[in-house]
Copies of this chain bind each other. A is one copy, B any other.
Amino acid sequence: MEAFQFLKTKPMTAEPTLGRTMMLDKGLGLNAVDDLIATAGEDISFAKFGWGTTATMDRELILAKTHKYNAAGIMPYPGGTLLEIAAATGQYDEFLAEADALGFKGIEVSDGSTQIDHQKRQQLITQARDAGFFVISEVGKKNPKLDHELTTRERMTTIAADLAAGSNYVIIEAREAGKNIGIYDAQGQIVDDELAAITTHGIDHLIFEAPLKAQQVALILKFGPQVNLGNIASDEVTALATLRYGLRGDTVGRV
């Protein structure tokens, strides 16, 4: 039983009442993963092994981590950058096979660091789905200059096309820093027009990367605790849960 259970305004049946949380795992070790699962395992839906960090570690270690996450009901998946490198070097089949062998249940399809045309992108999504993976695609460029060249209409078109091709969720890119990219301006504040356009067809299949607390607060106050949020730092997962539950000053009495 949770502590101070009588003070919670939301029931603890996480989904679908509360939105999904995608945590950014930048290379946690096993002691830290144990701590994380024990303290916040029920508040995390996805563990993204950020960008190419997986490829710097031993296979046994990755296997041990994905095993722990899977056992806790948290879906682990490798960052999209790794997939992009595989796609660019013609090793996508090997990539999917290795991801499966390492215990990853999800795949992120992105073109944040490379150029991938629409047809290829849909093919990557479809192939991952057909191979049995849960697919999360990401819209946005990691280079702010390139990201600004993406029009709102292009983002909307890609979101629709990704979902049609089989993506389970589409992530709105904000990187680890959350500034000057996607729906955020250089100070990390939400650009309202951009957000309004992107959410025309609802938020159920979107995950907003929101690494900064002010972004998490703004999106929860706007859409409610059911909004899906991503790139949450591993030591901020519990803090985010308190925002969703109205257990932190910023949202007390407001969710």
Identify the A interface with B (CB < 8 A). Answer: 1-8, 26-32, 34-36, 38-40, 43, 50-59, 61-62, 78, 81-82, 84-86, 88-89, 91, 94-95, 98, 102, 112-114, 142-143, 175, 235-239, 241-242, 245-250, 252-253
Contacts and interface: CB of A to CB of B under 8 A. Distances in A.
B62 A3 contact: yes
Contact of A245 (B52, B114, B246): B52
Nearest to A27: B238
Interface centre among A1, A3, A51, A59 (most CB of B within 10 A): A3
A55 B142 contact: no
B39 A35 contact: no
A94 B4 CA distance: 9
B26 A35 contact: no
Contact of A29 (B34, B51, B55): B34
A50 B175 CA distance: 27
A32 to B, nearest CB: 5
Contacts of A36: 29
Interface centre among A36, A39, A238 (most CB of B within 10 A): A39
Nearest to A91: B6
A113 B39 contact: no
A210 to B, nearest CB: 16
A85 B56 CA distance: 39
A249 B81 CA distance: 7
Given A2-B57, A3-B62, A175-B249, 18 more contacts: A1-B59, A2-B56, A3-B54, A3-B55, A7-B86, A26-B236, A26-B238, A29-B32, A29-B36, A32-B32, A43-B56, A51-B248, A53-B238, A55-B245, A56-B238, A56-B245, A57-B238, A82-B247
6 contacts: A2-B57, A4-B82, A4-B95, A6-B94, A40-B56, A81-B252
B32 A249 contact: no
Given A81-B248, A250-B142, A239 B53 contact: yes
A223 to B, nearest CB: 20
